[in-house]
Amino acid sequence: MWHRERIPLLLAFVQSVLVVGWCFTEMEAGPGAAMSTQTNGDRFKIEGRAIVPGVKTQDWVSTARVLVDGEEHVGFLRTDGSFAVNDVPSGSYVVEVVTPTYRFDPVRVDITSKGKMRYARLVNYIKTSEVIRQPYPLQIRSSGPHSYFMKRETWGWTDFLMNPMVMMMVLPLLIIVLLPKVVNTNDPEMRKEMEQSMNMLNPNPELPDVSELMTKLFSGSKGSSKAGSSSKGTRPAAKRR
Amino acid sequence: MAKLILLWLKCVILYNAVGAVFEDQVGKFDWRQQYVGKVRFSHFDTHVQSSKKVLVATENNVFAALNTRTGELFWRHVDKSGPEGNIDALLHHGQDAILVVGNGRLLRSWDVNVGGLNWEIVLDSGSFQKACLVGQQGTVKNVAVLKKNIISLHYLSNGHQKWIENLPESETVDYQTVYSGGNGEVYALGIVPHSHVVIIAYSTDDGEIIKQISVEAPWLSNIVASCAVIGQGVLICVDSATPSLYMCDLHLDTHDLQMTQIPLQSLGLEVAPDFQPVLVSHQPNSAHQPLSEFFLQLGPDNFLLLQLNNGQIVTLRDFKPALLVSFATTGEKTIAAVMSPKNKTACSINLFSAETGRRLLDTTLIFVMDPNGGKPEKIYIQPFLKKDDSVGYRAMVQTEDHTLTFIQQPGRVMWTREEALSDVVTMEMVDLPLTGTQAELEGEFGKKADGLMSMVFKRLSSQLILLQAWIAHLWKLFYDARKPRSQVKNEVTIENLSRDEFNLQKMMVMVTASGKVHSFRLFFFFQLFGIDSKTGSILWRHYLEDVPSNAAFKLMVQRTTAHFPHPPQCTLLIKDQDTGLTTLHVFNPIFGKKSHVNPPALPQPILQSFLLPLMDQDYAKVLLLVDDQYKVSAFPSTKNVLQQLQEMASSIFFYLVDSSQGRLSGYRLRTDLSTEQIWEVVIPMEIQRIVSVKGKRPNEHVHSQGRVMGDRSVLYKYLNPNLLAVVTESTDTHQERSFVGIILIDGVTGRIIHEAVQRKARGPVHVVHSENWVVYEYWSTKSRRNEFSVIELYEGMELYNSTVFSSLDRPHAPQVLQQSYIFPSAISTMEATLTEKGITSRHLLIGLPSGGILSLPKMFLDPRRPEIVSEQSREENLIPYAPELMIRTEWFINYNQSISRVRGIHTSPSGLESTCLVVAYGLDIYQTRVYPSKQFDVLKDDYDYMLISSVLLALFFATMISKRLAEVKLLNRAWR
- The confidence score (pLDDT) of residue B972 equals 93
pLDDT in tens, A35-87: 333 444 578 888 888 989 888 888 888 889 999 988 889 999 998 889 988 88
Residue A139 has pLDDT above 90, yes or no: no
B711: Cα within 13 Å, side-chain hemisphere = 4
- The confidence score (pLDDT) of residue B19 equals 57
Answer whether A131 touches B (CB < 8 Å): no
pLDDT in tens, B118-164: 999 988 888 888 888 888 877 888 899 998 888 999 999 888 889 89
Taking an 8 Å cut-off on Cβ atoms, the answer to whether A230 and B22 are in contact is no
The bridge status of strand B582-587 relative to strand B569-576 is: antiparallel
Mean of per-residue pLDDT scores for chain B: 85
Q: Is the dihedral of CA B908, B912, B914, B920 positive or negative?
A: negative
**Which amino acid, residue B818?**
Q
- Closest by CA to B624, choosing from B647, B600, B659, B603, is B600
Instruction: Please indicate whether residue B877 or residue B965 has the higher confidence score (pLDDT).
Output: B965
Between CA B272 and CA B56, with CA B344 as vertex, the angle to 5 degrees is: 80
Average pLDDT of span B200-220: 86
pLDDT in tens, B156-190: 988 888 989 888 888 888 888 888 887 888 888 88
Q: Binning pLDDT at 50, 70 and 90, where does residue A213 land?
A: low
Q: Between B15, B80, B116, which is nearest A62 by CB?
A: B116
Q: Global pTM? A: 0.83
b/e B613-622 (16+ beta carbons within 10 angstroms → b): ebbbebebbb
Contact B225, B237 (CB under 8 A): no
Residues found in chain B: 976
A86 contacts on B by Cβ (under 8 Å): 105-106, 120, 122
Query: Is the reported ipTM for this assembly greater than 0.90?
Result: no
pLDDT in tens, B24-81: 788 888 899 999 999 999 998 877 777 888 999 998 899 999 999 998 999 999 998 8
Q: Binning pLDDT at 50, 70 and 90, where does residue B595 land?
A: confident
| Residue A136, C-beta contacts closer than 8 angstroms, at least 6 positions apart | A30, A33, A35, A47, A48, A109, A118, A119, A120
A156-165, B47-56, B330-339, B924-933: which is most confident: B924-933
B-contacting residues in A 200-239 (Cβ below 8 Å): 223, 230-231, 233-234, 236-238
Instruction: Please indicate whether residue B70 or residue B545 has the higher confidence score (pLDDT).
Output: B70
Q: Provide the shortest C-alpha distance from residue B22 to chain A (in Å).
A: 5
Answer whether B841 touches A (CB < 8 Å): yes
- The confidence score (pLDDT) of residue A12 equals 38
Taking an 8 Å cut-off on Cβ atoms, the answer to whether B901 and A71 are in contact is yes
The bridge status of strand B106-111 relative to strand B302-309 is: unpaired
Average pLDDT of span A195-201: 71
Q: For chain A, list the domains and their CATH numbers.
A: 44-145 (2.60.40)
Searching chain B, which residue's CA lies closest to the CA of residue A19? B3
Q: For A9-23, B708-722, B897-911, B925-939, which range has the lowest pLDDT when averaged over its residues?
A: A9-23
- The confidence score (pLDDT) of residue B180 equals 86
pLDDT in tens, B885-916: 888 888 899 888 989 899 999 999 998 898 99
| Residue B825, C-beta contacts closer than 8 angstroms, at least 6 positions apart | A70, B786, B848, B849, B850, B887
Answer whether B945 touches A (CB < 8 Å): no
A151 contacts on B by Cβ (under 8 Å): 22
- The confidence score (pLDDT) of residue B822 equals 92
Q: Provide the shortest C-alpha distance from residue B718 to chain A (in Å).
A: 21
Q: For B310-319, B322-331, B391-400, B935-944, which range has the lowest pLDDT when averaged over its residues?
A: B935-944
Answer whether B362 touches A (CB < 8 Å): no
Alpha-helical (H) ranges within B592-695 are 639-648
Residue B665 has pLDDT above 50, yes or no: yes
Answer whether B901 touches A (CB < 8 Å): yes
- The confidence score (pLDDT) of residue B490 equals 55
| Three-state secondary structure string covering B510-564 | EEEEEEEEECCEEEEEEEEEEEECCCCCEEEEEEECCCCCCEEEEEEEEECCCCC
Separate counts of helices (H) and strands (E) for chain B: 7, 63
